Amino acid sequence: MFGNPMEMMRKAKELQENMQKVQEEMARRTVSADAGGGMVSAVVNGRLEVVKVRIDKSKIDVNDTDLLEDVITAAIAAAQAKAGEMMRSEMQKLAATAGLPAGMLPI
């Protein structure tokens, strides 16, 4: 019913190693998103870490720091959402190659 336990252990170890490789690759990849009509753009890696924030000085009002703070937050959130989706997609591919249903691997 459960198959060969040694084979299951080998496959689990292989899957764990492949997951580690995917996570390392995702840490090297970056995505970007902008907010406020390009006022602010944020770059995030696959670990959801903010790598860079760019502010277009020609589009900001230095007296409206509340707006700038909101736009920075929105750009970072959008970039993190893109990075999260990138990671989910890669994990789904890994799960499919391992013969697991989508959503079985943690992100």
pLDDT digits (tens, 9 = 90+) for 2-61: 567 887 788 888 888 888 888 888 889 999 999 999 999 999 999 999 999 999 999 999
pLDDT value, residue 105: 63
Residue 80 sits in a domain whose CATH number is 3.30.1310.10
Interatomic CA distance for residues 73 and 59, integer angstroms: 16
Q: How far apart are CA 27 and CA 11, in angstroms?
A: 24
Provide the number of structural domains found in the chain: 1
Residue 18 lies in a domain: no
**pLDDT value for 2:** 59
pLDDT in the model for residue 72 = 97
Q: Is 60 left (phi over 0), alpha (psi -120 to 50) or beta?
A: beta
> CB–CB of 77/34 below 8 Å?
no
- Its domain, for residue 83, covers 25-97
Kindly state the average pLDDT of the residues 64-90.
Answer: 94
Per-residue pLDDT, 10: 82
